[in-house]
Chains A and B, each alone.
Chain A
Amino acid sequence: MIELQITWFILVGVLLAGFTVLAGLDLGAGFLFYRFRSAEEREAISYNLRPIWGVNQVWLLTGGGALFAAFPRVYAGVFSGFYLALMLLLLALVLRAVAIEVKPEVSSDRWGRFWDESYFTGSTLVCLLLGVAMGNLLAGIPLDSQGNYTGGFWDLLNLFAIGTGLYSISLIALQGAGLLMTAGSDQLRQKAGQIAARYWLISLFLFLLLTIYCFIYEPQVFANYRRFPLLYGLPALLIICYAVYPVALKKMAAQVPLLVSSLLILALWGLLGGAMFPALVPNSADPSASLTLYNSSSSLLTLKVMLVLAVIGIPIVLFYISAIYRQFFAGRSLKQSIDNSASELSH
């Protein structure tokens, strides 16, 4: 039973990590619209995102479903507790979904600009809110004995959570820039490289700041690391990624920075899991009454059945997604994308 509970703790993390790494591409590129202001640049970027953003979002929906199935008490407690924040998240998700799909339907400047701005706003808000939510969960939130959140909406917007929200944006910006570097014309690639260098610095700075904050105000997040020093491998990996990133940016193939930033995000999820384990929702009012993978999981049979479905299903999903990604992105420059997309819109 414990093995299954731990497996699902990891698997929910994997689904959410899959979302941040892959949807990070289209969320990040959307956030970077503020740096790419011309209609041509934005259209060239959207051209690459349109076929893949939808399937990337399914990682989040499936993560939500898996959380519901494996840890119903967490799903119920967190989602109802963060009610207004989640409604804002839904609004942002709906906005960007409509924006990216509807924009190419009408070829008018005003229409295009409106939906581009909506896509930027929605994408940025999604990153910010998910970062804020993760910050709150890491630090812990007050729960009653039933596992219901007892704080209010504004309590979620504390200094630490705003910091993690901004940190989330900085990481997603790296993903977006990474995508543009792999599929960009020389000019765009150069611009994306500069952006990546800047966000590397910002995110490193925020990471250090947040770590120091935790050291002073949230020392409990280090407890697992003191007990199991092997876990330090995760922050070590993250720091290596930070160290390698600027080198990769300057000297290595165009795809490498994206791989490094993806690995960095995976290491961060590992780091978070290591800090929170076995809690999924640490209870700041009474740490002994946290929602943990032991006390909030589904039954043995459900976890087993779900594991079978996941073990069969997820490799198949990865197989066809990678096939599709390869076909859409293999050896094609963004310059070509601009030409293709221009001919698609003008015919």
Chain B
Amino acid sequence: MDAVLLSRIQFGLTVGFHFLFPPLTIGLAWIIYFMQRRFHQTGEMLYRQMSRFWVRILAVTFAIGVASGIVMEFQFGTNWAEYSRYVGDIFGAPLAAEGILAFFLESAFIGVLIWGENRVSPTLYRLSSLLVAIGATLSAFWIIVANSWMQTPAGYHIAGGRAELTSFIQAVFNPSTLPRYLHTIDASIITGALFVVGISAWLLLKNHHKKMARESLRIGLIVAVIACVLQLFLGHYHAVQVADTQPAKFAAMEGLFESEQGAPLLLFGLIDPENRTVNSKIEVPYFLSLFVAADPNYEVQGLNSFPETDWPPIKATFYTFHPMTWLGGAFILFTLWGVWLLRRGTIYNHRLFQRLAVIAIPFPFIVNELGWITAEVGRQPWIVYGLLRTADAASVNVPAAQILASLVMFSLIYILLLGLWIFLITRHLKPGIDENISGKEAASL
């Protein structure tokens, strides 16, 4: 098998798996910080008990995230040596900055948050949840910077056969950094909040830990509804930027072949790249042009205006983007409904809502993955958009058999890690287990 293809599969597998966990870590970290702050403000033991419960879940999630993330820092060198040589002058810096300015902070204080409550001073412990949340959020920033530079490179010139930095600020704040970062962080908060809502609903359905579950559900839902509605605007902001800076990707996302003035917004359709058409369309006239440029007659570039060799894989881009938007819409409706039930005070006994909330637990993760696939597959055939093709970026001296071996190894490890994560989380929800963590507290109440 082809070494480049194997490296692509391996990279997709490892990053795709890793990306399940950091968004949850970020979202949970902020919610835990909020709970701890409530505890210190009100002195109510309930909030301490809640934060302990969620810290245990954060601990397991962070552990699997770290274990799966170790691979990332090395993989550019092992599998993408040509890429590393070509862009190392720019791409390495955000990775190193992530370590020095963010990941040290997150890792140091998550040790305190998880293990330090009875072992360090109260001041240090109080700081820890905030610093973990800040560390995780900053860490995401530098990783998004690196990724965004691959999407919309800036602040560089080509010299001596490689890309060299000309402006660090321009490279860091390249055109897609901010929209992508805000979109991803909001997605992380949605992931964390809906996870809290779903797990709390499960506890309520099982009649277990009711008091804590009720309050967690309430907090999670309020955070979720704000983040979900906000995502309408942030997602829009990001899409406009993609239309502007990566028009071929945008055309593939929207399934637009012919450049069109007054382009319609496609809500549903079956794309047929061979015949360059979309079947069974449901569309809203003029709305795509309106969205992109606030002008119903604006001309949106279609795929036909790009050579086919520069097209991304159309189906993978198209069929991941649309379900992402549908699910995003569903989250808004679902959380609005939840808030309405909350205001009426019936949510804690509303079995249907609770069951749906449990069923919804995997969906934010799925949406994150869909969005990631849209962004990264849509970038193809480029590894750095418009600058370096993926096919030219892989290591030339690693035999395909070795990559296949490592791919099999990682697949097995990641299946085990996923199983372990699910096992530990569900175990944590069974009655009697988490009493351990709150047991001391119960005695003191």
Contacts and interface: CB of A to CB of B under 8 A. Distances in A.
Interface stretch (A259-267, A276-284, A315-323): A315-323
Contacts, number: 227
Given A68-B92, A94-B67, A78 B97 contact: no
Interface string B316-356: 00000000000000000000000000000000000000000
A62 interface: yes
Interface string B146-180: 00000000000001000011101000000000000
A64 B95 CA distance: 9
Interface string B73-114: 110111101101101111111011111110111011111101
Contact of A347 (B63, B114, B124, B439): B439
A59 to B, nearest CB: 8
Contacts of B232: none
A76 B393 CA distance: 11
B396 interface: yes
A58 B116 CA distance: 19
B395 interface: yes
B284 interface: no
Contacts of B436: 347
A39 interface: no
Interface stretch (A81-89, A210-218, A222-230): A81-89
B115 A75 contact: no
A310 B120 CA distance: 28
Contact of A69 (B82, B95, B107, B439): B95
B164 A347 contact: no
B391 interface: no
B96 A69 contact: yes
A302 B71 contact: no
A305 B95 contact: no
Contacts of A84: 402, 405-406
A317 B104 contact: yes
Contacts of A58: 99, 103-104, 107
A321 B109 CA distance: 9
Contacts of A54: 66, 107-108, 110-111
Contacts of B398: 80, 83
A68 B96 contact: yes
Contacts of A101: 59-60, 63, 66-67
A319 B74 CA distance: 27
B118 A97 contact: no
A189 to B, nearest CB: 20
Contacts of A306: 93, 96-97
A306 B91 CA distance: 12
Which residue, B168, B403, B439, has most C-beta atoms of chain A within 10 A?
Answer: B168
Nearest to B157: A299
Which residue, B64, B85, B409, has most C-beta atoms of chain A within 10 A?
Answer: B85
Interface of B: 59-60, 63-64, 66-68, 70-71, 73-74, 76-79, 81-82, 84-85, 87-93, 95-101, 103-105, 107-112, 114-116, 118-121, 124, 159, 164-166, 168, 395-398, 402-403, 405-406, 409, 413, 417, 420, 424, 427-428, 436, 439-440
19 contacts: A52-B111, A57-B66, A58-B99, A64-B74, A75-B77, A76-B88, A79-B77, A79-B78, A80-B78, A83-B403, A86-B74, A86-B78, A90-B74, A94-B67, A97-B70, A306-B97, A321-B108, A327-B121, A328-B120
Interface of A: 50-52, 54-55, 57-58, 61-62, 64-70, 72-73, 75-81, 83-84, 86-87, 90-91, 93-94, 97-98, 101-102, 105-106, 146-150, 153, 298-299, 301-302, 305-306, 309-310, 313-314, 317, 320-321, 323-324, 327-328, 340, 347
Given A68-B96, A80-B79, A105-B60, 20 more contacts: A50-B111, A51-B111, A57-B107, A62-B103, A64-B77, A68-B84, A69-B92, A79-B76, A80-B81, A87-B402, A97-B63, A102-B60, A106-B427, A148-B396, A301-B164, A309-B96, A317-B108, A324-B109, A324-B120, A328-B116
